[in-house]
């Protein structure tokens, strides 16, 4: 009888230690996410959601569970992994802690059923709340970074193209589109996966050109579609609201239609004739001026823009530009990227000051 009682108590002790460790883990992970929602994103709604879940976890973290804690006797305290020792970006930090919270909640859900039937139900519901938070958080992150991005690099494959993209990322680039029309799907998939990982390592957005299926396959941040590609509505249905959809436009009608259909940003051009779009006549600076007055979402002037003509494009009203050859064919992509960014930042600052002065 004593042995049976001892066994039951030993089992209860182990269960409570598991619950204690995972309640701590979930609360800590949520606090890390909450701090970024509060200070990094200035989102009271998402910070409040994190705080509410932390408080619910605290209510379950009773003294009866805590009393079984045995930190010195826990063999797991010394276990670690090299990936835990560094974080290369905010995105990686958030993803790691979201996974940490989700795993802890799954453990709490299962072991909680042995402790209190209501605990299993509560943590199952919370796990789905965290999945929703993850979706909203990553979508919010993407759209905020899009809003802050003023330079957009579109790739063209050539010698050392991957190294040139990385050099631009080292110069501060935060938005990259993989564009390759000729390669087969296997090569495109491999290149896109590699480039997506590189962009996320530097905290930049990765956009897939044309192909919604490949964007989903490599977990891209979004897709860019042309006038002859799948409709924006279908792309949105497949990608969801948290990913970015961009659309090329060449005239006012296409601009207004893309905005009405729900694009997150548009390309405006080609401003100058470019071999990238040999069949498209230049839309010119007049279209840039039109976009300045009528576009209600982020827009990027595109087409033949380089350091020599950038100021003409800025004078026409652009604050964001997309570049292909200007960076991909540059001998020093990092320096050229920094030049573009400095000019765009200066223009954005001047426009912001002018807007402030013009307010009544």
**Residues 69/1, Cβ–Cβ less than 8 Å:** no
Strand, coil or helix: what is 153?
strand
- For residue 82, give the DSSP letter: G
Annotated active-site positions, please?
179, 248, 277
Contact 242, 142 (CB under 8 A): yes
Q: Cα-flanking dihedrals φ and ψ of residue 247, to 5°?
A: -145, 135
For helices 284-294 and 252-260, angle between their N-to-C axes, nearest 10 degrees: 30
Separation of alpha carbons 324 and 154, rounded Å: 5
Residues 6+ apart with CB under 8 A from 198: 162, 165, 166, 169
Residue 178 has phi, psi (to 5 degrees) of -90, 115
Cis peptide bond upstream of 318, omega within 30: no
* Burial class for 22, CB neighbours closer than 10 Å (0-12, 13-18, 19+): buried
Q: How many CA atoms lie within 13 A of 36 on its CB side?
A: 19
Distance, CA of 332 to CA of 97 (rounded, Å): 37
């Amino acid at each position: 009888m004593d042995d049976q009682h001892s066994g039951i108590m030993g089992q209860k002790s182990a269960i409570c230690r598991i619950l204690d460790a995972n309640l701590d883990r979930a609360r800590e992970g949520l606090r890390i996410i909450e701090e970024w929602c509060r200070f990094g994103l200035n989102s009271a709604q998402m910070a409040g959601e994190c705080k509410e879940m932390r408080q619910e976890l605290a209510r379950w973290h009773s003294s009866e569970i805590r009393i079984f804690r045995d930190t010195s006797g826990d063999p797991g305290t010394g276990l670690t992994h090299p990936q835990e020792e560094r974080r290369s970006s905010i995105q990686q930090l958030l993803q790691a802690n979201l996974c940490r919270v989700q795993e802890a909640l799954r453990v709490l859900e299962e072991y909680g059923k042995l402790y209190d039937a209501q605990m299993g139900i509560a943590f199952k519901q919370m796990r789905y709340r965290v999945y929703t938070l993850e979706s909203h958080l990553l979508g919010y992150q993407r759209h905020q970074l899009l809003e802050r991005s003023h330079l957009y690099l579109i790739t063209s494959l050539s010698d050392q193209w991957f190294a040139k993209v990385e050099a631009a990322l080292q110069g501060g680039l935060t938005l990259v589109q993989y564009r390759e029309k000729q390669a087969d799907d296997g090569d495109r998939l491999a290149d896109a996966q590699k480039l997506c990982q590189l962009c996320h390592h530097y905290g930049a957005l990765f956009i897939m050109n044309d192909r919604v299926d490949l964007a989903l396959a490599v977990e891209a941040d979004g897709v860019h579609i042309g006038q002859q590609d799948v409709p924006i509505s279908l792309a949105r249905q497949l990608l969801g609201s948290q990913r970015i959809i961009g659309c090329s436009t060449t005239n006012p009608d296409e601009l207004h239609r893309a905005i009405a259909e729900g694009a997150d940003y548009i390309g405006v051009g080609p401003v100058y004739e470019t071999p990238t779009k040999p069949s498209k006549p230049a839309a010119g600076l007049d279209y840039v001026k039109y976009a300045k007055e009528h576009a209600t979402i982020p827009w990027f002037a595109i087409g033949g823009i380089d350091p020599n003509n950038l100021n003409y494009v800025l004078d026409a009203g652009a604050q964001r530009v997309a570049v292909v050859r200007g960076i991909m064919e540059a001998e020093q992509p990092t320096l050229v990227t920094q030049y573009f960014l400095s000019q765009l930042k200066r223009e954005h600052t001047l426009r912001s000051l002018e807007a402030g002065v013009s307010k009544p």
